[in-house]
Amino acid sequence: MGVLENLEPKSVFYFFEELTKIPRPSYHEKVVSDYLVQFAKDRNLEVHQDDLYNVIIIKEASEGYEDAEPIILQGHMDMVCEKDPGVAKDMEKEGLDLEIDGDYIRAKGTTLGGDDGIAVAYALALLDSKTLRHPRLEFVCTVSEEVGMDGAHAIDVSPLKGHLLLNMDSEEEGVVLAGCAGGGTAAVTLPAEREKSDWSRMHVHIHGLTGGHSGSEINKGRASSAELTGRVLRGLSSVTELRVIACVNGTKDNAISREGRILLAVRDKDAAEKKLQEIEAAVRGEYHVADPGIRITSEEVSAYPAEADGLNPLTGECSRAVVSLFTDLPQGIQRMDDNIPGMVETSLNWGVATLDGEKLEMRAAVRSSVGTAKEALFEKLRWIAESLGASMKITGEYPAWEWVEKSVLRDKMAKIYKEMFGKELVIQTIHAGVECGLLSKKIPGMDAISMGPDILDIHTPKEHLSIPSVQRMWDFIVRIIETR
């Protein structure tokens, strides 16, 4: 008996629940990709699967719609896998534990994967329907969207005939996207140079942060555990000599880091402990509204992950370089958009920072709606990194999806929305990566819109999906497809 089986629309929630049973972190999409292929074969639909496990499923037009413009349905099959501390679930091997909480669906202790499982569920329900009146439907489902849009970079779109693209990777009902920022990942690496030390060891734990999507929620004033790591290191350095031994911080480039641990050797542990309490009090006061759960605590050294056992501290020079990287590399919003009030133009997020036995590696999601500003920020990061003895590599670059003045699809959707809901459809751009930018480069003249139901707190274990919103947006999608 399914947790969601009594919810409407039944087909959408059936497929959504089926997807939650399949582990699908980025780079581990084969099982869910094969599920999509089998879905198509079971219904005698045309299907294409490439070596990366991208999938295209095509359903020919229903009677009377043969001459209508084909519609491309689009979403991604991977999800961000985050979980609360203490949750034992292996998200590479185990499905999710769903629960209904009033008007919302959640996963117990983990991300839900509504981003972008609901898009896949919508598409499968449309392709499965025997009553929908529709033009040729072309479902494009990509892999590894959450880690650099690798699937959209590589996918062969030659089987497609359509130029109208309905991307379903947005998270706010009544707000559709017609443009997005471009971006990429910056990876900074510093070799670890170590020496013996008899100083006291200290384990600092930064936790309780809210986190969130590093694009759409970068403007909410939430703390980053990576940025707080720099503040802790600077603060402790002001009262005692220290050497960095190891650190772990965050898990995803595109998620604002929620937790970090630092293992240190300190000359004066009492002074360091006192200073740490002062730092925590100051930080909690500053973030008492935007991020009220922050804790910065000293814990037993034995509680640090075992992989640090036996490591000597970094040398003094190498430790200073680590502190400087955490301090000098910028974090968060760099510039607001001059043309769109309240919109972020350029930002970056250090989502992952790990110091192991061999190296410090820091990775940031960089975003900007202005190409030259993005390149200038990459250059700034490289300059800082190399001046401190580190190197930097840029991967996963993707273009901005540029606003177009005339859009048949946008006008059609605005008209239908007003008729159905009695209010204006909000049309805007977003400071986050959407695959429409890459696909528009592959399909000249593409007319695209991104939409979706209400999904809150994505990329965090608090993620929840609105049940009534899924219903309303399903009805909206059906009208869009059936209206010629």
Give the pLDDT confidence of 215-232 residue by residue, as tens digits.
889 999 999 999 999 999
pLDDT at residue 49, rounded to an integer: 98
Banded model confidence at residue 341, pLDDT cuts 50, 70, 90: confident
The domain defined by 10-181+400-482 carries CATH number 3.40.630.10: yes
Range 56-74 average pLDDT: 97
- Give the mean pLDDT of the chain: 96
pLDDT at residue 251, rounded to an integer: 87
The domain defined by 184-398 carries CATH number 2.102.10.10: no
Is there a contact between 450 and 434 (Cβ–Cβ < 8 Å)?
yes
pLDDT at 343 over 80: yes
Of the listed ranges 53-62, 379-388, 389-398, 402-411, the least confidently predicted one is 402-411
Range 67-80 average pLDDT: 97
Task: Report if pTM > 0.85.
Answer: no
pLDDT at residue 279, rounded to an integer: 98
Banded model confidence at residue 338, pLDDT cuts 50, 70, 90: confident
Q: Model confidence over 184-218: pLDDT tens digits?
A: 999 999 999 999 999 999 999 999 999 988 988 99
pLDDT at residue 57, rounded to an integer: 98
pLDDT at residue 194, rounded to an integer: 97
Give ranges for CATH 3.40.630.10 in the chain: 10-181+400-482
Range 366-371 average pLDDT: 91
pLDDT at residue 157, rounded to an integer: 98
Give ranges for CATH 3.30.70.360 in the chain: 184-398
